[in-house]
Every structure is written in C-alpha cells, then in structure tokens.
Amino acid sequence: MLNSRVAERRDILRALGEVFRAHGYEGASLTLITEATGLGKGSLYHLFPGGKQQMAEEVLADIDGWFEQNIYVPLRSAEDPARAIAAMIAGVDRYFASGDRICLVGLVALGVARDHFAGAVDSYFARWHQALVALLRKSGLTNAQAQRRSEDALLTIQGALVLARARNDSKIFRRALSDLTTRLLTPAEK
C-alpha cells in the first residue's frame, strides 16, 4: 500500500509540475490544479496543508531529486569525463523532452515568486555547476577554465530551452546540445 501512495504522490507532483510549467506559479489557479490532478480542494489541502506554496516546494524537490540522481551524482562520481558529459547531455535531452519541456526551476527563477523559492533555485543551479566544474577539472582544465565552461554549458542549456520555446522549434535545443560535449572537453590552449 505504501508504494502505491508514493506512486500516487509522485503522479500528483508531476501533474502539478506541468500546471506550473504551463501557467507559472502565479497563474496556477486552484481550478487548474484540481483539473490536472483530479483531486478536489479538500483532498489537495489534506495532502498539501501549506497550499500552493507547499505544492511548488514539493514539485521543486521532486525535480531536484531527479537531477541529483541522474545528473549531479553521475557527474561527481565519474572517472571518464567524456562519457559523463555524454550521459549528462542525454539525460538533459530526455528530461526536457528534446526541448519541448521548459525548465520549471528556470521559470520560477524568472517569476515573481522567485523569492519564495530562492534557496531551491540557487541550489539546483549551484550543485549542477559545481558537479560539472569538478568533472572538468578531472579532464585537465584549470579551475578558472572549468568554472567558465560549466557556466557556458548551463547558459547553453537554459538559453536553448528558452529559444526553442520562443521559436516553437525543439531542433534549436537539440542543435545546442549536439556540440556541447566538444566545447566542454576541448583541451585548453596553453
């Protein structure tokens, strides 16, 4: 029974995430939330006594958990930088549905509600950056080079998501990812 509750809550969090992606935190009305989850107001407040803020916190935590397990830990524990970066890019491509799914953490970072979730937003990007820096250092880059390339990678991924969405062209995202491995691992000029 516990497993079905976990699966149900995970399904609810994913449905909530899609509402927040489509409408932003500010635009995610209780009506939209009840329609997406199939739960009444009473059930929602029973599951999330903290209301919409708790819902968003749990959605962000669920996203964070996925990235921790599928992106950050593999980057931190990898011995082969090229293989780890290829796996990161494949994971990012899969998570963001090849550019058809926006980054909810990025959306929250740009919205009015940013201050409510500043810690979660900062932690998501900081841990990704730090894990990638550590991996790039293993590939022989200096700390400054690794810092810069990691920032460039995150800018590329996030910017490509925005541009792909703005232009309604997911190929933009796939093209941006396609040369990222080479850009990250090109030996530094001496």
Using the predicted structure, report yes or no on whether residue 48 has a pLDDT greater than 70.
yes
Using the predicted structure, report yes or no on whether residue 190 has a pLDDT greater than 70.
no
Using the predicted structure, report yes or no on whether residue 2 has a pLDDT greater than 70.
no
Q: What is the pTM of this model?
A: 0.89
The packing angle between helices 51-67 and 2-27, to 10°, is 110
Write the CATH number of the domain with boundaries 51-185: 1.10.357.10
- Where are the domains positioned within the chain? 51-185
pLDDT in tens, 79-131: 999 999 999 999 999 999 999 999 999 999 988 888 999 999 999 999 999 99
Question: What span, in angstroms and rounded, lies between the C-alpha atoms of 33 and 14?
Answer: 11
Record the tokens describing residue 52, joined without a space: 């919409």
pLDDT for the residue numbered 6: 45
pLDDT for the residue numbered 149: 97
